[in-house]
Structure 1
Amino acid sequence: MSVDACVFCRILAGELPSTTVAEEDRAVAFMDVNPATPGHLLVVPRTHAPDLFTVDPADLAACATLAQKMARRVRERLGADGVNLIQSSGAAAWQTVFHLHVHVIPRYDGDPLILPWQPAPGNAAEIAAVATKLTGD
């Protein structure tokens, strides 16, 4: 997808409407137009990067810092009981807009949002084998 066709780039350029709630040098937070819960917002880098694998580390750090700031804000100002931060990279991970973004989703006791992953005990040998592959540089 070209940067010109990227919906988040177009939002950042002022070509599409959005409700911005915070701006930093390298990152911007705006309300999600398809909110999972009241206060659901997105944090995006100002510079286009399709995903976690291609984003500049400084832009990623700026997004993480702004996501933390916004998580605190939704807890303090909206009375959220918790917060989910979700970053999806790749279609298999539910990414639908290919401009890196972090969902900041306020959670409220009893809210109807159900995420698809339900934790269950794993196989210890499989976990250890995968950990071996991931250890070290």
Structure 2
Amino acid sequence: MENCIFCQIIAGDIPSSKVYEDDKVIAFLDITQTTTGHTLLIPKEHVRNVLDMDNTIAQDVFSRLPKVARAIQKATGAAGMNIINNNEKIAGQTVFHAHIHLVPRFNENDGIDIKYTTHEPDFQVLGKLAEQIAKEVV
């Protein structure tokens, strides 16, 4: 076990508001509560982020994600939910133990603004990029 805040939560050295736990994962309320019910789902095994997960850890975490998300939505009455994962500092990761944010959404004016820029695609460029990526999928 690494010396990180999430490992300390798993060990019980730091208190948390758990919403789910089994032998592989734990889910607890994020102390920031971006919206009511904002929850973190993490593997118990220390791994830096999704980029470092092996298939077993990924299966452990992602197979439990829908069940935890549905429980949050039912308990809070949320109309929807953002499921967000940040990998590395440049992408906004601040705790370097893999975790997924489940952020319930209640209305369009809740102050959360996630936008994706759009423009006319260059399908030739996209095709070449897709080929490059496909070669790296192992």
Runs of 4+ in structure 1 over 3 Å off: none
Aligned Cα root-mean-square deviation (Å) = 1.7
SS in 2 for 1:135: helix
Query: Residue 72 of structure 1 aligns with which residue?
Result: 70
Deviates most, 7-16 or 126-135: 126-135
CA offsets 1:54-91 (integer angstroms, 9 cap, x no match): 22322221211222111111222211111111111111
| TM-score when normalising by structure 1 | 0.88
1:93-132, aligned counterparts within 5 Å? 93-110=91-108, 111-115=110-114, 117-124=115-122, 125-132=124-131
Query: Residue 83 of structure 1 aligns with which residue?
Result: 81
| TM-score when normalising by structure 2 | 0.88
CA offsets 1:34-65 (integer angstroms, 9 cap, x no match): 12111000000001001112223222212112
Shift of 1:26: 0.6
Letter in 1 for 2:33: P
Query: Residue 47 of structure 1 aligns with which residue?
Result: 45
2:20 & 2:9 partners in 1: Cα distance?
A: 14
Query: Residue 92 of structure 1 aligns with which residue?
Result: 90
1:7 & 1:122 partners in 2: Cα distance?
A: 43
Letter in 2 for 1:112: G
Query: Residue 18 of structure 1 aligns with which residue?
Result: 16
Letter in 2 for 1:43: L
- CA gap of 1:102–1:118, structure 2 versus 1, over 3 A, is same
Query: Residue 58 of structure 2 aligns with which residue?
Result: 60
1:15 & 1:77 partners in 2: Cα distance?
A: 27
Work out whether residues 29 and 66 of structure 1, in 8 Å CA contact, stay in contact via their aligned partners in 2.
no
Stretches of structure 1 that go unaligned for 5 or more consecutive residues are none
In the alignment of these two chains, the number of paired residues is 134
